[in-house]
Amino acid sequence: MRLLKTILLPLLALAQAALCAEDYYKVLGLDKQASDRQIKSAYRQLSKKYHPDKNPNDSTAHDKFVLVAEAYEALSDAESRQIYDQYGYDALKQRKQQGGGGGGGHDPFDLFSRFFGGGGHYGSQPGQRRGHNVEVKVPVALRDFYNGRTTEFQWNKQEICEECEGTGAADRVVHACTACAGRGVRTVRQQLAPGMVTQVQMQCDACGGRGKSIKHRCKACGGERVVRRPATVSLTVQRGMADGVRIAYENEADASPDYVAGDLIVQVVEKEPELEGEESNPDRVDGVFFRRKEDDLFWREVLSLREALMGGWTRNVTHLDGHVVRLGRERGVVVQPNHVETVPGEGMPKWHEDGDSVYHKTEFGNLYVEYTVVLPDQMDSGMEKDLWAVFEKWRAKNGIDLHKDSGRPDKPVMHDHEHDEL
């Protein structure tokens, strides 16, 4: 027992030491199984959140910004991630100090600028440019507006080339342009007239005014420093969100080393239902054919002549989440053509900024059912005879004839001279 303790205690101390080191997964809010894409996405979100430009005079935010960058660099490189997973923080640190390759030693602002451009800062620096906002329309099925859903979409985004880290150079080394000595402009002497010489500053044609030159162009971007490729964006459609609502993704528009990325504006619009759409209607619900108007839904139900006249019918309409709305009439209850029935609470959920919670119960709009009555084009002759007989019988009994039905007076009005005088 005593022997066991002497072995266990140092082991426990070691475990304690390991815990003190930063848990990079925890820093990024991920678990050990996280994919490369999740790591990237976590970095994108957290680095924007803790960026010192957004949190002035907040040293905690600054430390977090640095730490998030460190965690990303450690986990985004396959080799360094493996070392971290297997041997931990200290091993990784040791490797870095020995100058081990891959994923180390970047300035956190440098890393930030590789994602969002603009030299690692938000337009707070004077003269800093900001890229255009980009607007994309994302069609979403009605059931997603009803039930809420987290989905993904893709768009063709300009990103800073990862291969050359936005330098445009295969070796990632940028030199000062020799033609203009890095100034981007050249002074040219121009003779206006004999004896009259003026000096004009012109943009350097060797480097296009950037003051920088590279030896070998990056193969991935051809020296352009940016590449355009499909970017996958996660989209959360909240229950009851309005059709056509715009959601802004800060600094997620086209990126470039020359400016801070603008915002990606996503407009969520309702998709037309497809008749046999397995994709838009996997549960084969009737509700997919509801029409939406703000918080209300509209549905057209067809009744036969017999149903409209006699009652005694039911319908089960499967709603957008699969629950059934029962429509129907008792026998003897007539439904007039084009009658609109209000079914309270069977419309769309009303959007609420807090979503669903224990403090807030979702309210719903109404469902409006419009009844269409179809008359037969032609009747089976037997049926026609029977119906005729029934109506004849009732006509005879009630003394109703066509003439009376039409609402015209029974007899032509006779003009009476005596009456005229009154």
> Is 12 or 202 the residue whose CB approaches Zn ion more closely?
202
Smallest gap, in angstroms, from Cβ of residue 175 to Zn ion?
10
In the block, tokens 């977090």 appear at 64
> Is 220 or 310 the residue whose CB approaches Zn ion more closely?
220
Closest to 313 measured CA to CA, from 334, 288, 291, 330? 330
Applying CB under 5 A, what is the total number of residues that bind Zn ion?
12
If one asks whether residue 204 binds Zn ion (CB under 5 A), the answer comes out as yes
For the four alpha carbons of 160, 26, 82 and 233, in that order, the dihedral sign comes to negative
Q: Give CA 17 to chain center in angstroms.
A: 43
- Contact call for residues 259 and 129 (beta carbons, < 8 A): yes
Binding range to Zn ion, per CB under 5 A, among 100-108, 160-168, 316-324, 349-357: 160-168
Q: Report d(CA 279, CA 288) in Å as an integer.
A: 11
If one asks whether residue 162 binds Zn ion (CB under 5 A), the answer comes out as no
Smallest gap, in angstroms, from Cβ of residue 241 to Zn ion?
39
> Is 69 or 161 the residue whose CB approaches Zn ion more closely?
161
- Which member of 34, 66, 67, 206 binds Zn ion (CB under 5 A)? 206
Residue type at 235 in one-letter notation: L
Cα 60 to Cα 36, 49, 365: the distances in Å are 27, 12, 46
Smallest gap, in angstroms, from Cβ of residue 259 to Zn ion?
17
> Is 110 or 163 the residue whose CB approaches Zn ion more closely?
163
Smallest gap, in angstroms, from Cβ of residue 150 to Zn ion?
33
> Is 177 or 348 the residue whose CB approaches Zn ion more closely?
177
Smallest gap, in angstroms, from Cβ of residue 154 to Zn ion?
22
- Which member of 83, 218, 317, 348 binds Zn ion (CB under 5 A)? 218
> Is 180 or 253 the residue whose CB approaches Zn ion more closely?
180
If one asks whether residue 27 binds Zn ion (CB under 5 A), the answer comes out as no
Sheet of 291-293, strands arranged across = 291-293, 296-304, 367-374, 340-343
If one asks whether residue 245 binds Zn ion (CB under 5 A), the answer comes out as no
If one asks whether residue 177 binds Zn ion (CB under 5 A), the answer comes out as yes
Residues 357-416 that bind Zn ion (CB under 5 A): none
> Is 34 or 227 the residue whose CB approaches Zn ion more closely?
227
Instruction: Give 325's strand partners.
Output: 317
Smallest gap, in angstroms, from Cβ of residue 159 to Zn ion?
10
> Is 162 or 341 the residue whose CB approaches Zn ion more closely?
162
Q: Report d(CA 144, CA 148) in Å as an integer.
A: 5
- Which member of 220, 233, 305, 327 binds Zn ion (CB under 5 A)? 220
Q: Report d(CA 44, CA 116) in Å as an integer.
A: 9
In the block, tokens 């890095």 appear at 182
Percentage helix, strand, coil for the chain under 3-state DSSP, each rounded to 5: 30, 25, 40
> Is 42 or 177 the residue whose CB approaches Zn ion more closely?
177
If one asks whether residue 179 binds Zn ion (CB under 5 A), the answer comes out as yes
Binding range to Zn ion, per CB under 5 A, among 136-144, 210-218, 345-353, 372-380: 210-218
Binding range to Zn ion, per CB under 5 A, among 95-103, 128-136, 211-219, 287-295: 211-219
Cβ-based neighbours of 9, under 8 Å, separated by 6 or more? none
Q: CB count, 10 Å around CB of 25?
A: 19
If one asks whether residue 255 binds Zn ion (CB under 5 A), the answer comes out as no
Closest to 311 measured CA to CA, from 327, 335, 341, 343? 335
Residue type at 100 in one-letter notation: G
In the block, tokens 């086209």 appear at 254
E-assigned strand segments in 110-184: 134-140, 149-160, 175-176
Q: Give me the residues that bind Zn ion (CB under 5 A), please.
A: 161, 163-164, 177, 179-180, 204, 206-207, 218, 220-221
